[in-house]
């Protein structure tokens, strides 16, 4: 288990399995964030893969919790196009996906809800995918590949906003300094 999750104020978990098409979106976003963006010392971007339940359960039991947890995942929702990147409220999270964050022994117990009740701000960034393959099929679709940059820019923008408003800072935190030019605003991403 990665012990850094107990020391960071902001956690970003990329969820999914890279062997099943667009389900690998979350891990690919984390890979890009860590490779091409400068992330401040109090932020951890982690490929949680299919083990996100374990990380969240450990956070629930931990004495020291992060201020914010971002979950990045491929999600199937209505009225979206493949590759659309959007923030979704936990209450609107599809029930089928919510089971990814529940204990097998206690399906009605949602770990993300419990984490929020413990004072952690939980945010979910989704990328619409029409489906996840049932058989091994590595690699993202072209639309999902394009969405990686949008998701990275969105996360960086949101982290800077969180740090400026909740942590009393008003300068650039190096979190939002991409090694490559142009970070889009939230409104540009939505267009």
Under the banding of pLDDT at 50, 70 and 90, the label for residue 152 is very high
**Structural domains of the chain ordered from first start:** 3-190 (3.40.50.1450)
**Residues 24 and 17 sit within 8 Å (Cβ to Cβ):** yes
> Residue 146 pLDDT more than 70?
yes
User: Alpha helix (H) ranges present in the chain?
Assistant: 25-36, 52-61, 95-98, 111-117, 142-166, 186-190
- Model confidence pLDDT, tens digit, residues 17-52: 999 999 999 999 999 999 999 888 999 999 999 888
> Alpha-carbon distance 178 to 175, whole Å?
8
What mean pLDDT is predicted for residues 144-158?
96
Between 153 and 96, the higher pLDDT residue: 153
Between 16 and 170, the higher pLDDT residue: 16
Cβ neighbours of residue 84 under 8 Å, at least 6 residues apart? Answer: 127, 128, 147
pTM for the structure as a whole: 0.79
Q: Which of 8-17, 116-125, 143-152, 169-178 has the lowest mean pLDDT?
A: 169-178
> Residue 143 pLDDT more than 80?
yes
> Alpha-carbon distance 166 to 2, whole Å?
26
> What pLDDT is attached to residue 99?
53
> What pLDDT is attached to residue 102?
40
Hey, is 143 helix, strand or coil? Answer: helix
Burial class (CB in 10 A: 0-12, 13-18, 19+), 57: middle
**Residues 62 and 119 sit within 8 Å (Cβ to Cβ):** no
Give the distance from CA 9 to its chain's centroid. Answer: 15
> Alpha-carbon distance 84 to 86, whole Å?
6
- Model confidence pLDDT, tens digit, residues 53-112: 888 889 999 999 999 999 999 988 888 999 999 998 877 765 665 555 543 333 333 888
């Amino acid at each position: 288990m990665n012990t850094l999750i107990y020391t960071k104020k902001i956690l970003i978990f990329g969820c999914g399995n890279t062997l099943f098409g667009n389900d690998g979106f979350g891990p690919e976003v984390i890979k890009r964030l860590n490779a091409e963006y400068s992330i401040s010392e109090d932020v951890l971007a982690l490929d949680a893969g299919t083990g996100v339940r374990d990380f969240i359960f450990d956070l629930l039991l931990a004495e020291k919790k992060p201020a914010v947890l971002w979950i990045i995942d491929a999600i199937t929702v209505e009225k979206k196009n493949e590759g659309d990147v959007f923030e979704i409220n936990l209450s609107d999270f599809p029930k089928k996906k919510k089971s990814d964050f529940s204990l097998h022994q206690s399906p009605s117990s949602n770990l993300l809800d419990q984490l929020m009740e413990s004072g952690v701000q939980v945010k979910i960034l989704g990328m619409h995918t029409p489906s996840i393959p049932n058989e091994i099929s590595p690699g993202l679709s072209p639309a999902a590949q394009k969405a990686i940059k949008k998701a990275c820019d969105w996360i960086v923008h949101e982290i800077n906003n969180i740090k400026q408003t909740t942590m009393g800072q008003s300068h650039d935190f190096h979190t939002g300094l991409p090694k490559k030019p142009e970070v889009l605003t939230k409104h540009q991403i939505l267009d």
